[in-house]
Amino acid sequence: MPALRILQLVGSAQDDFYCNLSRLYAQDCLAAMGRSQYDFQIAYITPDRQWRFPTSLNLEDIAVAKPMSLFEAIQFITAQNIDLVLPQMFCIPGMTHYRALFDLLKIPYIGNTPDIMAIAAHKAKTKAIVEAAGVQVPRGELLRQGDIPTIPPPAIIKPANSDNSLGVVLVKDITEYDAALKEAFEYADEVIVETFIELGREVRCGIIVKDGELVGLPLEEYLLDPYEKPIRSHADKLKKTDDGNLGFAAKDNMKSWIVDPNDPITQKVQQVAKECHQALGCRHYSLFDFRIDPKGQPWFLEAGLYCSFAPKSVISSMAKASGIPLNELFMTAIHETLGSKALQN
C-alpha cells in the first residue's frame, strides 16, 4: 500500500516569533519520524501570507522554494492527493483560519477544530466554559484599556490570548498593578486579572483519544518555589540559541519531570482534565495546566490544544513516559482522524 501523504502545515501568518517556533517543533517532528513510513510534504507560511513548499525546513531550502499566493497554494495542494494534514502553526490565524481552509478543501487534519482552537486561545472564554462544567478556576476578571482591577493582590496579570507566559506578572502589592497591566497590554487588547492560587504544585495533564475513549497521560510537574519562583515565566519555556534561533527550555529533569503515576494527585487531575476536554468539545488530544493548592485542590489555569508530535512536545513526552512511543502516538491520532481509511494504508 502507498504511504500516507501527510502535509505538515508550518510557519506563521502573524509574526517571525511564531514562524520560528513552529519551524522548531516541526523540524523536531520530521527528524524523529523520518520519511520512510509516511510521505511527508511541507507547507511553510510566512508573515507576509506567502506559501512555500520546501523539500525540508532548513533555512536554505525554504529560501529557494517558490513563494505562492493563497490561490496558487490551493491549486498546488489539491493536485498533491494529500491524505492528511498535520497542523503545526501556533499563531491564532494558524490555529483557526488555516485549519478552516482544510475544512473547506475537505482534507482531514489531526487536532482540534478552528472554533475550539479560537476558544482555547482566549483564556477567559476557556475558563468560563470549564467553570460551567464544574471545574474549579481562580476568581478572575477581564479588563480592557482603562479598566481598573478590583481583585486585591496577590494576583496574576496575563494577556487573554498569548502563549508561553508572555506578559504574565505576579502582582504582590496594589502599587504594582499599573506596570503589570502596561506590560500585559503590550501583548493583547484584553487582560485577565485573577486571584493568585498559593503554590502547592503546578502540573500539566495531557489527554489522548484512543478508540473513542479518553486516556489520561502521566502528569508533567514544574519546579517552582513559593518564595523564589512562585510562577513560571517565558524564560522557562523558550530560549534564544547562540545563533539567534529559538530553542527549547524547561525540558530537563531539573526544571520539569514526569510525576509518578502512583502519586495520588495523578488520577484526580486526569479526571478534571477529562472534564475540561469534554466541556470544550475537544477531539484527538488536549492539554491543560493546573495549579494544585496546598490542600491538594486542582485549579484550572489554561488549555494548550496542540501537539506537534515532536519528541520534545509535552504530549509526546507524557506518552513516552506511559510506554507509548512517538510513532504509536502519531498512528493513534491518524486512526482517530481518518478512521477506516487509515487501516487501508
Domain definitions of the chain by residue range: 5-110, 139-195, 199-305
- Under 8 Å between Cβ of 200 and 211: no
Q: Give the integer Cα–Cα distance in Å for 270 and 332.
A: 19
The CATH superfamily assigned to 139-195 is ATP-grasp fold, A domain (3.30.1490.20)
The architecture of the domain spanning 5-110 is 3-Layer(aba) Sandwich (3.40)
- Regarding beta strands 155-159 and 238-240, do their DSSP bridges make them parallel or antiparallel, or are they unpaired? unpaired
- Under 8 Å between Cβ of 118 and 95: yes
Q: Give CA separation, 143 vs 140, 159, 162, 178, 205, in Å.
A: 10, 10, 15, 13, 28
Q: Give the integer Cα–Cα distance in Å for 298 and 276.
A: 12
The per-residue pLDDT string of the chain (345 residues; one tens digit each, 9 = 90 and over) reads 678 999 999 999 999 999 999 999 999 999 998 766 899 999 999 999 999 999 999 999 999 999 999 999 999 999 999 999 999 999 999 999 999 999 999 999 999 999 999 999 999 999 999 999 999 999 999 999 999 999 999 999 999 987 656 789 999 999 999 999 999 999 999 999 999 999 999 999 999 999 999 999 999 999 987 777 888 765 555 545 555 555 555 455 568 899 999 999 999 999 999 999 999 999 999 999 999 999 999 999 999 998 999 998 899 999 999 999 999 999 999 999 998 565 455
pTM greater than 0.75 (yes/no): yes
What is the structure's pLDDT at 250?
46
- Of 312, 160, 292, residue with least CA distance to 248: 312
Q: Give the integer Cα–Cα distance in Å for 224 and 331.
A: 35
CATH of 199-305, one of 3.40.50.2300, 1.10.150.110, 3.30.70.100, 3.30.470.20: 3.30.470.20
Alpha helices in 159-263 (DSSP H): 177-185
